[in-house]
Amino acid sequence: MKPFDFNAGETSPRGTVVLLHSSAGSSRQWSALLERLGPRYDVRAVDFYGHGDRPAWYGAQPLTLADDAALVEPILRQAGPVHLVGHSYGGAVALKIAEMHPQSVRSLVVYEPVLFNWLFRHEADTPVAQQAIAMADSMRAQLEHGDAYAAAEQFIGYWAGPSAWLSMTGAKRDSTALRMRSVLAHFGALSGEPLARLRRAGALVPMLCLGGSDTTAATRRIATLLRQAFPLAQHDTMVSLGHMGPITHPAAVNARIAAFLSGLPEEKRLEESLKAT
C-alpha cells in the first residue's frame, strides 16, 4: 500500500495537510479524516518505517524521530508550509518536524503525542513512568523469546485496555504482531528524543493539543507537560475517549480537527476571498 495522496499532482488553494499515524497502525487509520478534508485541502498520509507497505528501518544506527520525520521532507519541499496532524507516535514525529523545519509548518494538531523523554527525564522513578518502562521491557523480553503475539497483546493492552486484544480479528492480530519490532524501535526513539528546541518552534504556529479523559496515566501526565510548554496552544480533553480516540471515535476527533483548521485566521481570510469571487 502506498501512502495516501488525495490530490496527487495538484495544489490546493487551502494548502496541504499531512497526517501521521500511531505505532502499530498505518496511514489507513486516517481514511475518514482524509475523505472529510480532501475536498478542501491537498491531503497526504505517510506510513512510517515498518508500517503499511514501508519496509522496516534499515539504518546502521537505531531509529530516531528525525528518521521518520525525514519521510515527510519531500512533501515539504513540494508543497511548502503544511498543516501537520499526528496521533501518538505520529504526534511526536509532527512535533519533531516542527522543531526541524519550523518555517515549513502552518499549524500543528497532536492527539496525545507520546513524549516519553519528557516524562522520563525528571520523573523516571514515578509509578507512571515505571509502568511505561515495564511495558517496553516486557515487550522486549517477549520478542527476544520469539513471541511477537505476546508482545502485541502487551502493547495493545497498555494503550487500549485488556479487552482490546480479544476483540481483534485474527488478521488484525497477525499484522499487529508483525510490527512489534518496529514499535519497540519507536519506544527507543521516543525515549531518546529531548525535542530541546521545540518550545520556540511551537510558539511560532497555531497549535491544538488533544487528549482523552480516559487515557493512560503516562499520556495524562504528558498532557500536563504540554500545557506547561505551550501555554498559548489550545488544549482540549475529549470526554470518554482513550489514547486510541482517533481510531475508536474518528467522527468526534475528526470534527474537532476540521473545526480547528477552518478556524485558523488564514483559512477564514481565504474563505471570505473565495466567497467574494
What pLDDT score does 196 carry? 87
Q: pLDDT grade, residue 268 (50/70/90)? A: low
pLDDT tens string 69-80 = 999 999 999 999
In a domain, 161, yes or no: no
Averaged over 169-182, what is the pLDDT? 97
Mean pLDDT of 211-239: 96
In a domain, 18, yes or no: yes
Task: State yes or no: pLDDT of 166 exceeds 70.
Answer: yes
Domain annotation covers residue 181: no
Question: What is the mean predicted confidence (pLDDT) over 194-205?
Answer: 80
Report if residue 139 sits inside a domain: no
Angle subtended by helix axes 180-191 and 116-123, to nearest 10: 50
Tell me, what's the pLDDT at 276? 52
CA–CA dist 30, 36 (Å, integer): 10
- Cell numbers placing 12: 490546493
Q: Which residues of 115-135 are buried (b: 16+ CB within 10 A; e: fewer)?
A: bbbbbbeeeeeeeebeebbeb
Give Cβ neighbours of residue 202 (< 8 Å, ≥ 6 apart): 95, 98, 108, 229, 230, 233
Residue 133 is assigned to a structural domain of this protein: no
The CATH number assigned to the domain holding 212 equals 3.40.50.1820
Task: Give me the number of domains the chain comprises.
Answer: 1
24 domain-assigned = yes
Q: Is residue 258 part of a domain?
A: yes
Record the pTM: 0.92
Give the domain range for residue 41: 4-121+194-276
User: Length of the chain in residues, anyone?
Assistant: 277
Residue 158 located in a structural domain: no
